[in-house]
Structure 1
């Protein structure tokens, strides 16, 4: 990012226009990530986790939360941005459905991973992303418990997704090695 875009003493290197562009682009990419279905075992995977982790690692907590909150707002307003929508519902009805806890977990993970990963190198970022999986699975399974018997929660709500999520974390970490930690520091100043 060009230093000419900042003024002396400015605490955030990004201008309001740059920040808005990152959030709008990130929100669009998050919607796309929800729609992409990659054949995987034991279930096809979307790129939600990859998007959440990548935005958090690259831009820090403020931008990552803003991106995911904007994505949730678009979905709550009725736009078919969620995985499986409009077939599985839209708007608030979708958010209240079986995957609602996972979506809330992604929002929390956006901030948590962004905070923990700022300025860290590869292993610190991996650790941050692994910690970020706790609210995703924790809230996801807790919410899913309203829809399926507790004896099936791990088999239905965790096991099919673990391997894919670990692969996505590895992909983000690999890409992150090419992105200097200074980018995270630049975007996260003032957060």
Structure 2
């Protein structure tokens, strides 16, 4: 435990705009434009006893076009794959962890199957599945069919079942230190493409453990 006294005036802003044009094998072209903005400011004087939590960096995919969002609840999960559960911030709304079903059992066993949770670079793990090297994980890459969207305490859903057809593998650095009332840190943001032509965010977030 650490005794901390804070006297702070903090402000952080971030604006992100990304565009992509994708041509399918059938010759159809989809143009995607996505944006988000974050603003945080605080003036505080605080005395507290706290522990300095570690950060773990899983990928979060959000289905409704918004960015990664956290709930007030916590859940227990073996993030390190060491047989011991950690308490983690839950995800809210349409946000879910991006998992790779390594053993094909249709579930998320521990942090070794959450992309980025142990390596710290989930986008690099995705890039290793890009068989044709086109910087998109898409229908040409068999790894896409192994990816799951997972909200804790719910059954994982395959990305292909959700209609997700491609994930961009060249994310933007989008650092923001106080995401979701300081439950996490935003590090990188990439986009995914639905079969319908719509898009959304895949983001690397640092969870406070």
Q: TM-score, normalised by structure 1?
A: 0.25
Higher relative CO (Cα under 8 Å, sequence separation at least 6) belongs to: 1
Higher strand share: 2
Higher helix share: 1
Q: TM-score, normalised by structure 2?
A: 0.24
